[in-house]
Amino acid sequence: MNYTTAIFLINKNVRAVMCNYEPDAEHKTTMFKTLDPTIKVSDLVIVPTKTRHGMTVSKVVEVDVDVDFDSACLVAWIVCKVDSANYEATLGQEADAVAVIKSAEKTKKRNELAAALLADSKDALKALPITAMNGDSPSLQTSDAPA
């Protein structure tokens, strides 16, 4: 008897779950056991390995599979399900912050460029027809003229 599968005989809540390590190796799967009733196909799970820090991420490809009690393959426990919600939320918040920073940089650069242009050649710019297109008055503002 494979003693790593004995738990399936004494606890009806233990589930057999098939996982794969590599996205390209769809047919190369490994069986793991878990007590987590929420694990489903496509979940990422942490599983024990003999590499890195003794753990790695694997993807669930099948749940509640039949157990071969005569198989010589060892069945390890899933460490935990990866909950990527916090990670995804952090990425979203960072993207929002970067958008605000980019907008502020754009505004700052626009204001600095306008100030530099006005300081060097405000009369020459005001004389250009493009500054008053569509009949509008020139939009260039100086520090000594009211807005």
pLDDT in tens, 10-51: 999 999 999 998 877 667 899 999 999 999 999 999 999 998
Q: What share of the chain is helix, strand, coil (3-state, %, to 5)?
A: 40, 20, 40
Neighbours of 32 (CB within 10 A): 21
Q: How confident is the model at residue 113 (pLDDT cuts 50, 70, 90)?
A: confident
Segment 89-105 mean pLDDT: 96
pLDDT (mean) for 101-111: 94
Q: What is the pLDDT of residue 64?
A: 97
Task: Report the alpha-carbon distance of residue 86 to residue 95 in Å, rounded.
Answer: 14
CA quadruple 143, 126, 113, 141: dihedral, nearest 10: 30
In the block, residue with structure tokens 């190369």:
28
- Give me the pLDDT at residue 121, please: 73
Average pLDDT of every residue of the chain: 87
Residue spans per domain, the chain: 3-83, 88-133
Q: What is the DSSP letter of 98?
A: H
Retrieve residue 12's tokens: 């009806």
Sheet holding 76-77, edge to edge: 76-77, 30-34, 15-20, 55-63, 44-48, 80-81
pLDDT at 70 over 80: yes
pLDDT at 133: 73
Query: Measuring CA to CA, how many Å separate 4 from each of 27, 33, 48, 133, 136?
Result: 23, 9, 14, 81, 82
pTM score, two decimals?
0.66
Q: Is the pLDDT of residue 144 over 70?
A: no
